[in-house]
Amino acid sequence: MAKTALITGIRGQDGAYLAQLLLDKGYNVVGADRRSGGANYWRLKELGIYKDIKLEYMDLLELTNIIRSIEKIKPDEIYNLAAQSFVPTSFEQPMLTSEINAIGVLRLLEGIRQVNPSTKFYQASTSELFGRAHEIPQKETTPFHPRSPYGAAKLFGHWITVNYRESYRMFACSGILFNHESPLRGMEFITRKLAYAVASIHFGLQDKVVVGNLEAKRDWGFAKEYVEGMWKMLQLKEPDDFVLATGQTHSVREFIEAAFRVVGVHLVWEGSAMNTVGRCKKTGKTRVVVSPDFYRPAEVDLLLGSPLKAKEKLGWKPRVGFEQLVDMMVEADLKRLKKEI
């Protein structure tokens, strides 16, 4: 009999790719969909899977709703991808972020425990847990030191998942995923913001992009590969926690340079820190401006993960490299914009 998976955050980047993967594997896929204004299913539509998914109204803020949904759907596996996932918003709305990213995980685990504790559970943990990183590269045993309300809330989500596994012998895994991107990434994140801006500048629809800290470094991988790692974790004999990462790190500045190279623009930089601008080497036109508006109260300076345990125990390894990822994202936005204009 086909397995049933319940995915929270189905309308997000990872939710869409995971739904696609599980449908391909023959699962019945149910998406937990909160009743939010202007609900948008563009990712599921772009992947051509919108009609193959059942949607269930379920909000991580409401335990009774979670219990009823689990009773009704009877999932074999639950993937908790729902979150207030944007770090800057967590400084503006720390309590709402914690209600969703911390207590929301507990509500879900408690719902599973009460209805059917043999349901397998995946928690979307994050490299933001490492924050002010205590070692390089970061691995499963690296101490946590979150640097935002987002990271602190996710830390609770991570430990409560471990706690329910240890206390109630539940099959609960936490994936400590480093940044993963794709053409389906939300526009507020730096990679997609840049891919879209570069495409837009190329077609003359805008002349520059305004960004924040150029020196922050991230371990950027391709989201479609990371959802495969999530699924692999729930197929293990014993539940465990895993880092998924590429093992490579690049600065925001390097991402910007690579993105502009896709459209043949080579940048030269002038100034420093918040007074930096990036100009097109050929035309001298200003294409990048740094503004304090996009700086955070506390920054995560360097993330670099070790995927060694995932390689050994899950047989998971990333294939798409940095340049290929940047290229894929800019090309996708060039194609989208070309259709629109």
Sheet architecture: strand order including 54-57 = 54-57, 28-33, 4-8, 77-80, 120-126, 172-177, 242-244
Looking only at residues 79 through 108 of this chain, which bind ligand G4F when binding is defined by CB under 6 A?
85, 87
Is 152 one of the binding residues for ligand NAP (CB under 6 A)? no
Is 13 one of the binding residues for ligand NAP (CB under 6 A)? yes
Region from 2-10, 99-107, 183-191, 268-276 binding ligand G4F, contact rule CB under 6 A: 183-191
Closest by CA position to 101, among listed 64, 144, 162, 149? 149
Region from 65-73, 79-87, 254-262, 327-335 binding ligand NAP, contact rule CB under 6 A: 79-87
Q: Which of 126, 142, 191, 249 is catalytic?
A: 126
| Alpha carbon distance, N-terminus to C-terminus of the chain | 47
Q: How far apart are CA 332 and CA 187, in angstroms?
A: 13
SS3 content of the chain, % helix, strand, coil (to 5): 45, 20, 40
Angle, CA 203 vertex, CA 220 and CA 214 arms, to 5° = 35
Q: Which of 17, 122, 150, 164 is catalytic?
A: 150
Closest by CA position to 300, among listed 136, 157, 173? 136
Is 241 one of the binding residues for ligand NAP (CB under 6 A)? no
Phi, psi of 269 (to 5 degrees): -100, 145
Looking only at residues 297 through 336 of this chain, which bind ligand NAP when binding is defined by CB under 6 A?
none
Q: How far apart are CA 197 and CA 207, in angstroms?
A: 9
- Pick the closer one to ligand G4F by CB: 89 or 117: 89
Angle, CA 251 vertex, CA 291 and CA 152 arms, to 5° = 80
Among 44, 124, 288, 304, binds ligand NAP (CB under 6 A): 124
Among 18, 19, 170, 252, binds ligand G4F (CB under 6 A): 252
The residue ranges that bind ligand G4F (CB under 6 A) are 85, 87, 126-128, 178-179, 188-191, 193, 211-213, 216, 218, 252, 294, 296, 299-300, 303
Q: Which residues are catalytic?
A: 126, 128, 150
> Which residues contribute to the site for ligand NAP (CB under 6 A)?
8-9, 11-15, 34, 36, 59-61, 81-85, 100, 124, 126, 177, 179-180, 186
